[in-house]
Structures are given as structure tokens and as C-alpha cells.
Amino acid sequence: MPRHDHPAPALGALGLFTVLLGAALPLIDFFIVNVALPTIDHDLAAGPALLELVVAGYGLSYAVLLVLGGRLGDMAGRRRLFLTGMAAFGLTSLACGLAPDAWSLVGARVAQGAAAALMLPQVLATIQAATSGHRRARAMSLYGATAGLAMVAGQILGGALVAAAPLSSVFGESAGWRSVFLVNVPVAAVGLVLAARAVPETRSERPAPVDVPGTLLLAVSLVTLLAPLTEGRAAGWPLWTWVSLALFPFAAGAFYRVERRADRRGLIPLVPPSLLRLESLRRGLALVAPFSVGFGGFMFVIAVALQQGLELGPAASGLSMAPMAVAFFAASLAGPRLVRRYGSRVVTAGGLVQAAGVVVLALTVWRGWPDLGMAGLVPGMAVAGFGQGLQLPVLFRIVLSDVPPERAGVGGGVMTTTQQAALTLGVATLGSLFLALVPGSGMRDALIITLLVQLAAVALTTLLSLRLPRAVG
């Protein structure tokens, strides 16, 4: 009797490198503009509100479309969507780099976020579908390490590119900020070649159609929450921001009811409530959210404080993040071995270490401002980065550990949407708090207060980690 079974596609080392490159690019580009905002403002006369939109437009479109991107990958093939997203990311990065004015840049950033939302969910879904056992655990650890490093490396790379301005003969003074976008173009081209050769095609055996009502209500929910929080302070809190915030709970409630009704009828909603019944996913997401709020807010605030408060240049501001990146990487390498021995308690230990780093950083700012240099920041940055490196890769593994392969795209989309929405929320809330405090309290005290608020988020993450399943799959 003939056999009709086929071996599962395998993700080799080159394929894993390629999809991790695709995971790094969207996160790098969320943070890379932080150190470029002053030069964008100077060159394009953007003003505070448009500068916020340069950051928020990308983050909003990215967060809104991530779950849909995962669903489309399940349907049409994850490799195909990864290639499409990578190509679109390169083209929209080119549009950002060539933008003639601030509004053109905002539009290109929104399109760039949408391209990222097509590409990123395919990374986790491909890892889930094309690896197993120890190889999957290792790949998930590397994904977590890549995500964390990309967020820090974005500001380091951005500072270096703004300072180097390799395209100055073509673009003049605007070369620095343009290069932070144009650098993506050759990277995306290399990624396309590698993906075509090394990434296997996978798709769900039972792909579900697009959940149109769920997609629209999720978009409305995220926009009504994130848009007013990111734009409200810069715009002077006009009426639309309060109306939008008032609409958010109704939109979120309608989204939940529509998804629950579809789940009960045997359909496959955009975010199945039944998926949230997985203990590992539900409890893991409860930690990813406050962690990302604190991380996103910190990265934005520290970039502003170092450049405008300590008057460090873009390169020095970016390089101040290097101790955090190195320590994060070291902790990520040690993480898998520690997890095998101590399980999810590694996350708890990481929270305590990160809290110590934030306290050291706050004390350093209190004692050393305004004569604080890069060397003085090293201890706090390194300790905080090591703690973050113990947490994030393990959290990603926990969130997706029990998600079945046929729902890999949905599970990955839910996790990355939570992370991205929380990063954007962190920039909006902690960033707005910091900028609102500066006029009355001064840069030093505003930074210290913001660090203490972040410390509260770290404490919440640490306490919630005690509820995680002890064993990590």
C-alpha cells in the first residue's frame, strides 16, 4: 500500500539565521529612530506632534496587523509571507530614507510597520512548525535573545549611523537620519536571497479564513488606546483624545464578545479565547506586557535624557547602551542551561537583578548629574541588561510552549502583538510622563522619577513570575 505521509520540513542553521534576521529588523527599526529624532526635527521642521507620529505610526500599524499577518501566513504559506514582508520592508525603508518632508516620513513609517507585521509572525510560526524537541528550545532561546538584543542594538546602530552620516555628499545634513532607514535596503535584499534558499515552506493543515469582524475590532481597540496616549501630550490633549480613550473599553469588550461567540460556534476567530485558556500562554503574556511597557519607555526616555540632558552626541548616546546589550547577550547564552536546572525561577531571578540595575542607575543619575559620562552609566546598564536577558528569552519559550503547531501563526501573532502594543504603550506613558515632568522638575529629577515608575513595572513582573509553571517546555 503506498505511503502518502511526508517528512516535516526542517529548519537548518542558515534558515534559522535568516528568520532571526527577519525578527531583528522590525524591532531594530522601532528603536533606531529614538536617537535620530533631533536630527529629523532639525532637518524637516517636524515639531513634537509629528515626531511622536514617526515613532507611533510605525508602532500602531505594526501592532494592529501582527495577528492578521500570522493568520495570513497560516493560510498562504509562511515562507511566502516572510518573503513578501521582507521585500515590502526593504521598499518602505527606502521610502522612509528618501522622504522629502515630515508627513511623507510618517506615511512611509506606517507602511513600514505594516510590512513588518507581515514578516515577523512567520518567524515564530516557522520555528514552531519546522523544529522540535531540543532544537526548538534552542531556537526559541535564540529568538528571545535576538528580540532583546535588537531592541538595544537599534539605538546603538542608530547613534552610529547618525554620527557617521555616510551619505553626506548626497543628502547633506539630513544624511544621518536617512541612513538609519536606508541601511535596511541591502539587509532586506540579502534576507530575500537567503530566505529563498534556506527557509522551508510551512502552512497550517487546516487554515482558517480571515476573521474580518475580529480584525477590525482589534484594530479599533488598539488605535483608540494607543493613538491618544502617544499623541495626546504633544497635541495638547484635544477633545478627540478623550473621546478615543472613552471608546476603548467598548471596542475591547465588543472584540472579546465577537471572538468568544465565533469560538463557541466552532469557527476560528482571530484570537481564539480557547487559546488563552492555555496556562503557560496566559501567564506568560501577563509578564511580557509589563516587561515590554518598562523596556519601551526606558529606551525612549534614556535616549532623550542622554542627548538633551547630558548633551551627548548620537554616537555617544547609542554607545551608552552597549553595556546593556553585552550583558543581555551573556545572560541569553546562559539562560538555556539555567532553565534546565531551575525552570521558570530564572525569570524571577532576572527580575530581581533588573530591579537592582534600575536602582543603581537611578542612584547614579541622582549623584552624578549633570557631569555624568558614559563610564558612569556602565554598572547600572550592565546589571539591568543582564536581568533582562534572563527574563525575555525564557518568557517567549513559556508563552509558546503549549501552543499546538497548527496554531503556531496565531500564537506567535498574539505574543508579538502583546509585546509590540506594550512597547508602544511604554513609549506613550513613560515618555509622556518624563516629558511632562521636565519643565517643572528638570531633566535629572524627571529621569529619576521615570526610572522609579519603571521599577514598579519590574516589581510587578517579578511578583507575577512566581505564578509561572515551574517547568519550561
- Say which residues have a Cβ less than 8 Å from residue 427's Cβ, sequence separation at least 6: 55, 56, 59, 230, 296, 297, 300
Please name which of 14, 22, 15, 20 lies closest in space to residue 87, comparing C-alpha atoms.
22
CA atoms within 13 A on the CB side of 166: 9
In order of 247, 318, 342, the CA distances from 157 in angstroms are 38, 7, 35
User: Would you state the pLDDT for residue 171?
Assistant: 53
Cα separation of 125 and 118, whole Å? 12
Q: Are 129 and 202 in contact (CB under 8 A)?
A: yes
Phi, psi of 34 (to 5 degrees): -55, -45
Predicted local distance difference test score (pLDDT) of residue 207 = 67
| Torsion 191-423-304-93 (CA) sign | positive
Which pLDDT score, from 0 to 100, does residue 175 have? 62
Record the cell numbers describing residue 184, joined without a space: 535596511
Considering Cα of 73, then 77, then 78, then 82, what sign does the dihedral take?
negative
Nearest in space to 357 (alpha carbons), one of 311, 285, 284, 295: 295
Collapsing DSSP to helix, strand or coil, 343 comes out as: coil
pLDDT at 6: 43
Asked whether the beta carbons of 297 and 431 are under 8 A apart, the reply is yes
Residue 32, helix vs strand vs coil: coil
Which residues of the chain register pLDDT less than 70?
A: 1-9, 164-175, 207-208, 405-409, 471-473
User: 452: which residues sit within 8 A by CB, 6+ positions away?
Assistant: 362
C-beta of residue 48 within 8 angstroms of C-beta of residue 229: no
Residue 116: what pLDDT? 93
DSSP letter (8 states) at residue 306: I
Q: Distance (Å, rounded) from C-alpha 360 to C-alpha 368?
A: 12
The pLDDT of residue 2 is 40
Q: Are 67 and 417 in contact (CB under 8 A)?
A: yes
3-state secondary structure of 340: helix
